[in-house]
Every structure is written in structure tokens, then in C-alpha cells.
Amino acid sequence: MNAKDGTPVENHRHYRYYDLMMAGFVTVLLCSNLIGPAKSCMVFGLKFGAGNIFFPISYIFGDVLAEVYGYARARKVIWAGFFSMIFATVMAQVIIMLPANGDEPLNKIYQPAVELLFGNTWRIVIGSIIAFWVGDFANSYILTKMKVLTEGRHLWMRTIGSTIVGQALDSLIFYPIAFYGVWQTSELVKILGFNWLFKISIEVIMTPVTYAVVAFLKRAENEDYYDRGTNFSPFSLRD
């Protein structure tokens, strides 16, 4: 919270729906990164991971969190997602490496399937985690800064504008780290551009839903946070 003179004051309020929004954000993030990569799709000759259909929803959660609760609260959610991704990756690798029970005949089917679905290469894992961290922090930073500059007007401009930048950074980091040298450069650029535009399109299509959720939460929580005097360091966890 901010005092009348703009001096930041720690916000110790308890919000009814904040924890649920955090849970929804982390759930979408984990599912899109764990389940989504299991299938590669092709539309109009362009390839993309199935998870890209749902990953943009995490940005919508991020937009709502930053718009209603402010950057500091959104920052905690991003860190929760970051460590959840790391834990899920470690858990997947441990399960893959554990010796299979030879008395279970289905393990002959399950073990290769688990390795195939959850045994992502280190490049994909690292690229995904770094891209998420950078992209989501950029998204929240731009949205909250624009909110102050526009005095809370034109929510659509803030959500779409922040997504354009955040998803651009996400794609520019993830695809080269994960696939440079594996795919031809021309194909990599084509896929990167298509996925960036696709994710922005999801944000645009979901704008009416974003407006409805934001309006509901602002009324229910009696909160419409403006980040004046906020410490925008991604490494602080203070409210």
C-alpha cells in the first residue's frame, strides 16, 4: 500500500481470493509445461507444442494479479511458479531414475512412457524456466507501470501491451536455448514468430474475460492497487 505522499507502506491485508488466484496460476503453469510438451501439433504447416494453447492463460492470471493486487503480490506468485517448476522437474527426474519394480509387468510399458513424456532435455528445462521468469516479471512490471501512467484507464492496453513484451521475451529466450542447432534457423524463427503471435491472440480473445474477473475481484476484495513508490526489484518478497 502507499501513503498519501506516495511513500510505500507494507500491505498486510488478507485477501479472500488471492491464494486461489496463485493456485490457479501455478496449476496452469505446471500443466502447460509438464503435459503440453508431450505432444507436438501442426497447424497450417506451423509446428508448436500443445502446451502453448494453455500457457497464455498463465499470463492472464498474471495480468489480473498485478492489476488488482499490485506488483509485489504478483511477484510472490511468479516466484511460487518458478520454484514449482524446479520442483516438478527434479521430481520427474527422480521418478525416471528410480529402479522399476520388476514384478510389475506394466512397468515395461510405463517406464519408457514416463521417460518419453517427462524426460525433457536439459536445454528445454532450462530454457522454459528462464523464459518464464523473465517474461512474467516483464509482463507484471510493464502492466503496473502503465497503470500508474494511464491512471487506471484502458485496461485492454495494459494487458495486451504487457503481454506483447512479456511473450516476446519468453519466446526469444526459450526457443533459441531449447532448439537452436536442433531445428534449422529459418524453421526456428518461423515457429518462434508464430507462437508469439498465437499467445498474443489468446490474450486479445480473452480480454472480455479478463475485464470481468478484474471487475469482480476489485469489488470483492475492495482493492485496486497502484504501484506508486513500489520496489520493483524481482528479488524482493516484501509486500
What's the confidence (pLDDT) of residue 41?
A: 76
Q: What is the pLDDT of residue 19?
A: 96
Counting beta carbons within 10 angstroms of the beta carbon of residue 211, is it exposed (0 to 12), middle (13 to 18) or buried (19 or more)?
middle
- Of 1-5, 71-75, 175-179, the poorest mean pLDDT is in 1-5
Grid cell, residue 187, equals 524453421
CA 38/CA 186 separation, integer angstroms: 24
**27 has pLDDT over 70:** yes
pLDDT at 7: 53
Domain 18-221 has CATH 1.10.1760: yes
- Residue 128's contacts (CB-CB under 8 Å, 6 or more residues apart) are 33, 85, 120, 174, 178
**43-52 confidence digits (pLDDT tens):** 777 666 777 7
- Is 47 within 8 Å of 98 (Cβ atoms)? no
Q: Give the dihedral of Cα atoms 89, 66, 157, 228; nearest 10 deg.
A: -140
Element (H, E) at 175: helix 155-179
CB 183 within 8 A of CB 49: no
Q: Per mean pLDDT, which range of 91-95, 137-141, 219-223 is the poorest?
A: 91-95
What pLDDT is attached to residue 6?
52
In percent, how much of the chain has pLDDT > 70?
A: 92
Rg (CA), the chain: 20
Which pLDDT value is given to residue 121?
A: 75
Pick the more confident residue, 139 or 96. Answer: 139
> 234 is written with which cell numbers?
524481482
pLDDT band at 4 (very low <50, low <70, confident <90, very high): very low
Hey, what amino acid is at 79?
W
Query: What value does the mean pLDDT take over residues 11-19?
Result: 86
pLDDT tens readout for residues 100-127: 888 888 888 888 888 877 777 788 889 9
**What share of the chain in percent tops pLDDT 90?**
59
pTM of the full structure: 0.88
Give, as one character, the DSSP assignment of residue 99: P
Q: Is 192 in contact with 179 (CB distance < 8 Å)? A: no
pLDDT digits (tens, 9 = 90+) for 209-219: 999 999 999 99
Rounded mean pLDDT, 137-153? 97
Tell me: pLDDT of 20 over 90.
Answer: yes
In angstroms, the Cα distances linking 140 to 79, 127, 134 are 12, 20, 10
Contacts of 174 (CB under 8 A, 6+ apart): 127, 128, 130, 131
CA atoms of 136 and 165, how far apart (whole Å): 10
> Can you tell me the mean pLDDT for 171-183?
90
Across the range 24-42, mean pLDDT stands at 81
Q: Which residue is it, cell 517474461?
A: 135
Neighbours of 133 (CB within 10 A): 19
Q: Is the pLDDT of residue 171 over 60?
A: yes
In the chain the first and final C-alpha atoms are separated, in Å, by: 8
